[in-house]
Amino acid sequence: MPPVRDGQAISGKTMKYTIFSTAWGYFGLAADKKGLIRTCLPHKDRKTVEKCLLAGLENPQFNKNLLRPLQKQIIAYFAGKSTLRPQSSALRLLNLTPFARKVLAACRKIPAGKTVSYSQLAGMIGKPRASRAVGSALARNPIPLIIPCHRVIHSDGSLGNFSAFGGTSTKSKLIKLEKS
């Protein structure tokens, strides 16, 4: 979901993006000088990824070498050859509430191959009764995969929703990939 609220566009002279091929389809990254702003999970159609990735961004410039080390990690991840470990990547969580930022920061700490429930994640941020609000914050995650919102499920083990391409089918595949 793009991090655009109330019609606000994200702009800057240093806005860059790239779209590259993975075993699951095309993946997109958008960043400025300060860090990663958005990702777009794989889709078979490059134009669809470009449309999703660039929505609300003003004048981004294509750069095939943008965040090249991260690109390589993502390619290896979707090939099933590596666990994604982008912890050092600087993230820019623009146009999000402090609550949503706290949820996404806690979500980022969930290890690959593990899942937590919405209520467990709410507890991790000191708001044990806020599981629905946690779900709403995760639905606004502008950086899926890097912030692994796919690792958050219902207490009963069911997947819950997933707002990225492919919905719960993609969420299920990501969880299975990480557990293998």
Active site residues: 149
> Strands 35-43 and 25-32, how do they pair?
antiparallel
> Can you read off the two tokens belonging to residue 24?
């699951």
3-state secondary structure 106-143: HHCCCCCCCCEEHHHHHHHCCCCCCHHHHHHHHHCCCC
d(CA 43, CA 98): 30
| Cα distance between the two ends of the chain | 27
**Residues 71/127, Cβ–Cβ less than 8 Å:** no
